């Protein structure tokens, strides 16, 4: 997963997410965590949030699960993790690592979440192999991701938002180049159905695929490891 674009924006990351999504990212993350827990038969064990950034999803996991499981926020960017630990404390376990090389034993993790991080993976298929290796049989993985919508009637407006507003907001509130990078990762990313199909090739069965807004601009995918 790319690290450099995130180093300089760690202190402003949460604020920029609020600006760019008009605060809705908080609702989407809450929905992701709620849906993951709805499909877990046993709600204990290790809960891992990958590409966790400042730990917003990890914080929702620990609030939902209570004191029984271990909640890990994992990210390759130490600046993000440092900012997260400053905001949220040590109730969450903070680990610097890549999604393609996860520091967990075979079948030790009960659930994985990843919000807006998959499109930044440097080796996506390598990450899926690692997810399958560490997830217990019956374990759940939940993904929130941004995709380029297919319908043309509002595509022009969304393209203008990504092409001009996001770099402008980055320049005025944080770091333009970092948000240009985030914009560019969406352009060639998989459609939701393509992502679902790719995961199925690694032994994950889709149990939820839901467009959150604008024909999959934000999509939630929840999969289960059956064997």
Each residue's pLDDT tens digit, 190-201: 989 999 999 999
Give Rg (Cα) of the chain. 17
Asked if residue 159 belongs to a domain, the reply is: no
Asked if residue 156 belongs to a domain, the reply is: no
Asked if residue 129 belongs to a domain, the reply is: yes
Asked if residue 169 belongs to a domain, the reply is: no
pLDDT in tens, 186-226: 667 898 999 999 999 999 999 999 999 877 788 999 999 98
Asked if residue 45 belongs to a domain, the reply is: yes
Q: How many CB atoms lie within 10 A of CB 151?
A: 10
What CATH number is attached to the domain comprising 56? 3.40.50.150
Asked if residue 217 belongs to a domain, the reply is: yes
Q: Please state, in angstroms and rounded to a whole number, the distance separating the CA atoms of residues 74 and 54.
A: 10
Asked if residue 182 belongs to a domain, the reply is: no
Predicted pLDDT at 23: 82
Q: Please state, in angstroms and rounded to a whole number, the distance separating the CA atoms of residues 103 and 8.
A: 26
- Residue span of the structural domain in which 50 resides: 4-150+190-225
What's this model's pTM, rounded to 2 decimal places? 0.87
Asked if residue 163 belongs to a domain, the reply is: no
**Count of structural domains within the chain:** 1
Give kind and range of the element (H or E) at residue 220: strand 218-225
Q: Where are the alpha helices (DSSP H) in the chain?
A: 4-7, 13-21, 24-38, 56-65, 78-88, 124-134, 155-160, 166-173, 176-187, 192-200
Q: Please state, in angstroms and rounded to a whole number, the distance separating the CA atoms of residues 54 and 78.
A: 10
């Amino acid at each position: 997963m790319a690290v450099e674009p995130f180093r300089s924006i760690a202190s402003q990351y949460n604020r920029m997410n609020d600006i760019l999504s008009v605060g809705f990212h908080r609702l989407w993350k809450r929905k992701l965590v709620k849906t993951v827990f709805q499909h877990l038969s046993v709600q204990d064990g290790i809960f891992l949030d990958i590409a966790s950034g400042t730990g917003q999803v990890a914080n929702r996991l620990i609030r939902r699960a209570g004191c029984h499981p271990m909640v890990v926020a994992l990210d390759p960017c130490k600046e993000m993790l440092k900012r997260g630990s400053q905001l949220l404390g040590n109730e969450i376990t903070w680990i610097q690592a890549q999604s393609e090389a996860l520091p967990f034993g075979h079948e030790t993790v009960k659930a994985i979440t990843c919000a807006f991080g998959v499109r930044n993976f440097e080796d996506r298929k390598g990450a899926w192999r690692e997810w399958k290796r560490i997830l217990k049989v019956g374990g759940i993985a939940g993904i929130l991701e941004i995709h380029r919508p297919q319908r043309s009637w509002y595509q022009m407006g969304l393209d203008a938002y990504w092409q001009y507003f996001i770099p402008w907001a980055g320049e005025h509130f944080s770091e333009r180049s970092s948000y240009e990078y985030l914009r560019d990762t969406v352009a060639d990313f998989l459609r939701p159905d393509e992502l679902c199909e790719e995961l199925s090739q690694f032994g994950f069965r889709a149990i939820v695929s839901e467009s959150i807004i604008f024909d999959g601009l934000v999509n939630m995918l929840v999969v289960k490891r059956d064997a």
